[in-house]
Amino acid sequence: MEFASRDDSRVVVDPYFGGEEGFEKVLDQCEDACEGLLKALRAQLTA
């Protein structure tokens, strides 16, 4: 989560107690963090 830009949380939430919305939130968090990680890696490669 340190690479996430749209979510202020530093941990991925536990989806099992949030129903379907909980799993959507986890997916959103993972996608956000992955996008940030890819952006950081690309910046290192072009520097």
Is 13 within the bounds of a domain?
Answer: yes
- Does some domain include residue 23? no
Would you say residue 39 has pLDDT above 90?
A: yes
32 pLDDT higher than 90: yes
Taking CA atoms, 38 is separated from 14, 32, 41, in Å, by: 24, 10, 5
Q: Judge whether 12 and 3 are in contact, CB under 8 Å.
A: no
Total domains in the chain come to 1
Work out the average pLDDT over 29-33.
97
* pTM attached to this predicted model: 0.85
* Domain membership flag for residue 22: no
Segment 30-34 shows an average pLDDT of 97
- What is the pLDDT of the chain when averaged over all its residues? 94
**Structural domain boundaries, residue 5:** 1-17+28-47
pLDDT value of position 3: 96
